[in-house]
Structure 1
């Protein structure tokens, strides 16, 4: 089968006339999902955009400008952020995010020294798949509540807006072609927002006031002072003392999730390697990629943004456009930072009704859960086997049911974190460990990539 011709290689610099448009495509691809995470967790959307851009630039530097990956807000951390915020406040969330980034760094060093086999031993598909399902289905009540209710009361108008946003997102996903097919979330948000305006549920007061202020600016300096505004950053030392916030409860809530996102990260890197036809796990190396991801998360924790992760949406853009330039990715990162400081953009984001986000989230959270199911199917994991059935069943019920262990007054291991820990433990102690991988090879990264390289050299 003849492969599609590459338009731009990883290190190619685009022409100035095309650079902006190509980078804008990647910004649009990540935009809807990246602002949805802070929206759901009541964090600053502007700070999320800035941390996304800074994290991506840091990632490109760590990976020596050899991996065209964009990083945005991680959905896996939505529930842990909500729990940590309720128990310890947003400073606790930031400290927990930093510690999760530190875990990335530790695992990166271990991979460099020991390879990847030890990681796949503790995170086979039968463990990771059900945990991803827990992430999606655990968020389902949040999506439905946002879609149906206003301050706890049912609203038919809001639910109708949510259904319209959902319908537009589904139509965009199923029928749109080309670049539009990789930004259905953004299209759904825009379409739902426009419909919400017609239903009178969008508060335009802040936007109108801002635009009037811009129109009445007495000087260019006053105009730019109004047009640009620093996000609501949460900065350690200035806003809180990390040593006073630190406790085991934050560690228990936030850190275990990093193991799941690292497994997702490996999957993204393998897909990206296939799209670009380069073995990124070998050069510049999986250890560098994971280190870059962890550094991006730590940067986010220093300014009040959610943890970052590589984005499948942007991998989709690469596959469609065949433009692999890291300079295009870097341009998108710069645009994200500028958007975070642009008052008009921030106010538009803040004016989006929860019903619109709820409607889009119904599909998005379901897709997350389905991707966990797909991991089991793609790896041909046999759930008829008693061992696999036990591990997956326990993970699903503990995670979705909201089980928790109260270790001390401050330390609680709950929900997703508990299910991940129990799943890893069961996989390590139950006999027949080889069955946890199924008949697929998704996680046999070293062997699979080397095999593919060999086949290419032999002309297979």
Structure 2
């Protein structure tokens, strides 16, 4: 892969000027801001902690990858449903145990890749498995998005839900604004449609009178986030059921990680899969997830939005990424910012989620299309069909009185097994390996 020396504003290890540094770092912060705080908002974690977590995780990632990959890490949408399930079993503390386990999975996979290469992972997780699982991630959350948009009290039992035309109107304004910014926004505006959509929705919610400002008025300017630190604020309780819920999702996000590394390599003009190596970038992600689990943050992943910023600005400096990470940590300690995030009505997030969860599902479909998966092949049709129905239908298998596999985790495992045992796998994996090498 050749690098065009004239095609960038800042090279990977180039230090920007002070004013340029702050401006470019703020761009990256705004690009990830909306999506990163949306994930903890949806699962009941602290958005301020998520900001600090993403900043610390990104700094750790830059250290692990030896400052050679300009990637920003933010909250992963793939873990929304598993975190919610883990919380239902033992509260947010239980979810953090699961997040820690997901980080360990990354570390184990990185070690294997370092020793054996990465083709085995692509054989285990080809597009015909990963694509439908990604679709399950998005579609299984569809009811949550619609409920947040339609109801005054979306978390209430079904019999107590209260339909609200006011909330639905705010959600639709948020959705429409986000679509407009995404479709017609030019330059950097087109990179931050989620953030701009949330702002538009928040304004409409203020007009509709459904925003509670009391928390903002009471908040201090500088205030430590509500960290959850093991053995300090809580005592960790190990649970196999939580592990089985979270671990399979890590395998799916690993495939997403590889895709992002390939796109980032093309944008920057360097082969990051070879140098510093896929094992290092995966280790960086894993370390970031573990850091988040120690302070109460959700699992992280590299962000397509920030890759888009790199493509637009052509400023590839890791110092710019590091600056954005430091700013995220600072924002997390500004109490007023945290209070504003907490004041965003669920109707606004519902409007955003309708689009985002649909995009997640569509991304799985796109993977199948991009890899030209042949659905006239009975093998592919069977694998995709079983994954979709098990995942969206909410199937579960009880392994014991306290341990069960359910939903997306179960569908991912069944998909991997079907891919390994059904005839025709050799031909398919050879095709996938060829597409990976291009």
- Give the match's secondary structure for 1:309: strand
Deviations 1:359-418 (A, max 9, x none): 011001100100100000000000111000000000000001110001111101000000
Distance in 2, matches of 1:345 and 1:61, equals 28
**Which residue of the partner structure matches residue 230 of structure 1?**
224
Q: 1:121 to 1:438 in 2, by over 3 A?
A: closer
Q: Deviations along 1:406-457, whole A, 9 cap, x unmatched?
A: 111110100000000000000000110145459566862xx33xxxxxxxxx
Q: Which of 127, 138, 142 is the equivalent residue of 1:125? A: 127
Contact 1:130 1:392 in 2 (8 A): yes
String of CA shifts for 1:26-58, please: whole Å, max 9, x gaps: 000000000000000000111000000000000
Aligned to 1:155: 164
Is the contact made by 1:97 and 1:297 (CA closer than 8 Å) also made in structure 2? yes
Pairing partner for 2:76 from 74, 91, 95: 74
Is 1:327 paired with 2:319?
yes
Per the alignment, residue 258 of structure 1 pairs with 250
**Deviation readout 1:215-240 (Å, 9 max, x if unpaired):** xxxxxxxxxxx311010000001123
**Where do residues 25-40 of structure 1 align in structure 2 (5 Å cutoff)?**
25-40=27-42
Q: How does 1:6-405 map to 2 (within 5 A)?
A: 6-151=8-153, 152-210=161-219, 226-242=220-236, 245-405=237-397
SS of the equivalent of 2:177 reads: helix
Whole-Å separation in 1 of the counterparts to 2:208 and 2:128: 45
Deviation at 1:150, TM superposition (A): 1.3
| 1:90 Cα deviation from its structure 2 partner | 1.2
- CA separation in 1, counterparts of 2:234 and 2:430? 47
CA contact (8 A) 2:69 2:318 kept: yes
- CA RMSD for the aligned pairs? 1.4
CA shift at 1:209, angstroms?
A: 3.6
Q: How far apart in 2 are the matches of 1:187 and 1:116? A: 38
Counterparts of 2:42 and 2:426 in 1: how far apart (Å)?
Answer: 39
Distance 1:208 1:51, change over 3 A: same
Aligned equivalent of 2:156: none
Q: What's the CA shift for 1:296?
A: 0.2
**Cα pair 1:84 1:253 within 8 Å, conserved:** yes
- The partner residue of 2:410 within 387, 400, 418 is 418
Provide Cα deviations, 1:250-276, integer angstroms capped at 9, x if missing partner.
111111110000000000000000000
2:66 counterpart SS class: coil
CA distance in 2, matches of 1:201, 1:135: 30
Superposed CA deviations along residues 77-134 of structure 1, whole A, max 9, x for unmatched, are: 0000000000121111101100110010000010000000111110000000000000
Change over 3 Å in CA distance of 1:276–1:442 after alignment to 2? farther
Cα pair distance change 1:394/1:436, threshold 3 Å: farther
SS at match of 2:203: helix
Displacement of 1:201 in angstroms is 0.6
Unaligned runs of 5+ in 2: 154-160
Deviation string for 1:188-217 (max 9, x for gaps)? 00010011101101111122344xxxxxxx
Report if aligned partners of 1:388, 1:436 keep a CA contact under 8 Å in 2: no
Tell me how many residue pairs correspond in the alignment: 428
**Whole-angstrom distance in 2 between the partners of 1:38 and 1:196:** 20
TM-score, normalized by length of structure 2? 0.96
Deviation of 1:241 after TM superposition, in Å, equals 2.5
1:433 aligns with 2:425: yes
